[in-house]
């Protein structure tokens, strides 16, 4: 199978998650100081930008594929889950700017609900349905900014003493949008299944 350029970029983004995780796990290594965090930040920015690039290529050159529709959101969720869990852990957090556990629970909980919903819709309709909502895209952007904001916090806070309040804004914004997106996706999934069942009933009635 020939991969489109959009899908190739998505695959590279997924592969870069591993070195990002390794770098963050050595974030507190005194031998290297903040160097690993800087490199991890660079990798994260590259992955964040690539998320927009592959979507642009898919739209501009009509390279949208079912594989890409599956890989792209999966890559996003793998990246965000890894980053948030690391930033909330004692081993990989940015000292003084630990990510609260409740933010991680709400954001990752959204993705788990979506996964369960995807499975339920698939086995109910036997169709693959991936329809991203606008609020979901907003939630993703806020989560990306949250991670970047924490990774640069030690340096920026020296210039902006109230940087922690900016991070708290991102904490709440990411959590709230993730919760709203979950409710919207659940509502969309229920409606789609209801419409599918109604269409199936109407089709059976016409056949009779």
In this predicted model, what pLDDT tens digit does every residue of 75-102 receive, in sequence order?
888 999 999 999 999 999 999 999 999 9
pLDDT surpassing 60 at residue 147: yes
Q: What angle do the packed helices 35-60 and 66-88 form, to 10 degrees?
A: 160
pLDDT surpassing 80 at residue 127: no
Which residues 6+ apart lie within 8 Å of 138 measured at CB?
177
Which top CATH class is 5-207?
Answer: mainly alpha
Domain residue extents for the chain = 5-207
Sheet strands (E) in the chain: none
pLDDT surpassing 70 at residue 132: no
pLDDT surpassing 90 at residue 24: yes
pLDDT surpassing 70 at residue 128: no
Average pLDDT, the chain: 86
**Structure confidence at residue 203 (pLDDT):** 65
pLDDT surpassing 80 at residue 70: no
The lowest-confidence range among 144-158, 164-178, 181-195 is: 181-195
Distance separating alpha carbons of residues 206 and 208, to the nearest angstrom: 5
pLDDT surpassing 60 at residue 1: no
pLDDT-derived band at 71, boundaries 50, 70, 90: confident
pLDDT: which is higher, 15 or 71: 15
């Amino acid at each position: 199978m020939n991969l489109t350029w959009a899908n190739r970029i998505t695959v590279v983004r997924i592969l870069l998650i591993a070195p990002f995780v390794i770098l963050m796990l050595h974030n507190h290594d005194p031998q290297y100081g903040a160097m690993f965090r800087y490199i991890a930040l660079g990798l994260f920015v590259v992955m964040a930008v690539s998320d927009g690039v592959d979507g642009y290529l898919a739209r501009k050159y009509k390279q949208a594929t079912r594989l890409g529709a599956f890989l792209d959101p999966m890559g996003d969720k793998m990246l965000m889950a890894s980053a948030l869990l690391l930033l909330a852990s004692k081993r990989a957090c940015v000292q003084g700017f630990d990510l609260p556990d409740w933010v991680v629970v709400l954001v990752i909980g959204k993705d788990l609900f979506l996964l369960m919903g995807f499975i339920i819709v698939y086995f109910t309709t036997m169709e693959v349905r991936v329809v991203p909502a606008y609020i979901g895209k907003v939630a993703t952007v806020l989560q990306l900014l949250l991670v970047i904001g924490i990774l640069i916090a030690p340096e920026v806070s020296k210039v902006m003493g109230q940087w922690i309040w900016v991070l708290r804004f991102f904490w709440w914004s990411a959590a709230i949008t993730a919760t709203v997106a979950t409710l919207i996706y659940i509502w969309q999934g229920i409606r789609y299944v209801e419409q599918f069942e109604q269409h199936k009933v109407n089709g059976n009635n016409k056949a009779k």
